[in-house]
Structure 1
Amino acid sequence: MSSFAALHHRPGAPLLLPNAWDHGSAAALAGQGFPAIGTTSLGVAAAAGLPDGVAATREETLRLARRLARGRFLLSVDVEGGFSDDPAEVAALAVELAEFGVAGINLEDGRSDGTLAPVALHTAKIAAVKAAAPGLFLNARTDPYWLGLDRPEAEAWHRLAAYQQAGADGVFVPGLADPAAIGALVQRLAVPLNVLHSPAGPALADLAALGVARVSLGSLLYRAALAAAVDVATAVRAGRPVTAEVPGYEEVQALHRDGV
């Protein structure tokens, strides 16, 4: 078992995975002692002026992964749906990421038009990735809750059962926040469950008690950074004092000078 996979098998101590969108955000998080960091597809896309979830950021994702994989932390990369519906192309992407030193990927079945990829297609992608890059931790994401589908629990289980059978190392169900449903799903699964942190949902300690293995922050940090930047700018414009604590110039320089 890889060191990254091992972080998903610590009963009562789920992996809290913060998600970065550039070198600076990853370096700052690493400096706070997080052993593993993910990328956020929304943050990567938005920083490049591109939409998320439409397979437009393959090159930006690879460029960032190449840089971050040299850091002193384990890296998981959000690859949307693999930027292709050809399982062989998705597998080739996974191999390239593994060669960089990436520890894991997140592969989703949700599509930008509000539908889900066919189960057979997503399982083919999973199987192709695991055959080509067996050491890469594959977190298979399914989006019935995220997309607000009717009876999401039934659709999610149908897909998760197929994805773990195809070789997924873990599964991710964003939008799932009901404690009873989370606990029941943990009991049914044979692989670790990843959920998305929700400010309105269960706290980290409660998720740990339910058996959740990984809690992702998704795009939350990127969106919080945008909000903080706007707050500072509008405070200065309005003549209000800037009360936010911000790192100094040299502190930020050191993040890049010293690497991650």
Structure 2
Amino acid sequence: MTSPSELPSTPAPTTEFEIFRGLHYRDQPLVLPNAWDFASAALLATEGFPAIGTTSLGVAAAAGLADGAGVTETETLAMARRLAGLPVPVTVDIEGGFHEIPSAVADFVKQLAACGIVGVNLEDGRAGSALAAPDHQAELITAIKNRTPEVFVNARVDTYWLSLDHSSTHDRVRRYAAAGADGIFVPGLTDRTGIEQIVAATDLPVNVLYSATGPTVATLAELGVRRVSTGSLLYRAALSAAVDVARAVLQDAPVSSGIVTYPDIQRLLPAR
């Protein structure tokens, strides 16, 4: 009988990509907070979150631009360059890839990878509340993985998010998995049975968007979900909190305690 000491050991992850990918195969789902600037990302990293994502709404709105319109390529790349130095893996929301030509999308992701980004969120929703053709979206995924295999492609299926063509969801999941995706993301899906069916339809880790009215993280874990994203929730909560404080000052009312201090923020910022 082989003793435990003689059994082969599993090699420890050696790259940021392997570390990030491994976070999707643990006993508990990866709770991925989505940041919108350097300070929010750095603060979340100091709180112990093992990986950070970005929210395309936060990045776009901070620049005065519309989300989901494919107009924030420059802002997204600039944000990626700032966040890549964080001590945890970073994945970036790139909307639909900012291009429809597969080689151009792959070129953009290559730039992100060169910065140190380990993952992208690629959605099949398009401006005007439309869905990309699944075969074309599959081509984009394949082009990315062929160019940068060590980038985790989280293939987002927007049938529920846009309330369009729910019947094509499983087909899209299968096509994107076959195209080389590393994960499947179905935002807007909060029904337990629907989530279970998606999990059963693919061997890839399934990502859902957290919803305050949907299943708890513990329940999502029981359903087989491997990643739970906050999306734009943190950004919207921060804006709401800022307005609440401004109103309190205007009305000479008490300001909420526990607000992060100026020195706390300063300590997050790299010395130049």
Q: Which runs of 4+ in 1 moved over 6 A?
A: none
Task: Give the RMSD, CA atoms, in angstroms.
Answer: 1.2
State the alpha-carbon separation in 1 of the partners of residues 151 and 270 from structure 2: 29
**Where does residue 157 of structure 1 map in the other structure?**
170
Shift in Å, 1:149:
2.2
Shift in Å, 1:178:
0.6
Percentage of identical aligned residues: 52
Task: Tell me which amino acid in the other structure corresponds to 1:25.
Answer: S
User: Residue 223 of structure 1 aligns to a residue in which SS?
Assistant: helix
State the alpha-carbon separation in 1 of the partners of residues 136 and 67 from structure 2: 21
> What whole-Å deviation, never above 9, does each CA across 1:105-163 have from its counterpart, x for those lacking one?
0000001211101112101100000000001000000111111125x1x2111111100
State the alpha-carbon separation in 2 of the partners of residues 183 and 119 from structure 1: 22
**Where does residue 104 of structure 1 map in the other structure?**
119
Q: Is the 1:82–1:107 Cα contact (8 Å) retained in structure 2?
A: yes
User: Which stretch shifts more, 208-217 or 241-250?
Assistant: 241-250
Q: Which runs of 5+ in 1 are unaligned?
A: none
Q: Does 1:67 align with 2:92?
A: no
**Where does residue 179 of structure 2 map in the other structure?**
166
User: Residue 168 of structure 1 aligns to a residue in which SS?
Assistant: coil
CA 1:27 to 1:156, structure 2 compared with 1: closer, same or farther past 3 Å? same
Q: Does 1:148 align with 2:158?
A: no
**Where does residue 125 of structure 1 map in the other structure?**
140
Q: Does 1:235 align with 2:248?
A: yes
Q: Is the 1:232–1:244 Cα contact (8 Å) retained in structure 2?
A: no
State the alpha-carbon separation in 2 of the partners of residues 249 and 221 from structure 1: 20
Q: TM-score, normalised by structure 2?
A: 0.92
Shift in Å, 1:104:
0.4
Shift in Å, 1:40:
0.4
User: Where in structure 2 are the equivalents of 1:177-216 lying within 5 Å?
Assistant: 177-216=190-229
**Where does residue 22 of structure 2 map in the other structure?**
6
Q: TM-score, normalised by structure 1?
A: 0.96
Q: Is the 2:161–2:188 Cα contact (8 Å) retained in structure 1?
A: yes
**Where does residue 23 of structure 1 map in the other structure?**
38
Shift in Å, 1:67:
1.3
Larger Rg: 2
**Where does residue 247 of structure 1 map in the other structure?**
260
State the alpha-carbon separation in 1 of the partners of residues 256 and 161 from structure 2: 35
User: Which stretch shifts more, 49-58 or 237-246?
Assistant: 237-246
Shift in Å, 1:244:
4.0
State the alpha-carbon separation in 2 of the partners of residues 258 and 171 from structure 1: 38
Q: Which has the higher contact order (CA 8 A, sep 6+)?
A: 1
**Where does residue 57 of structure 1 map in the other structure?**
72
Task: Tell me which amino acid in the other structure corresponds to 1:223.
Answer: R
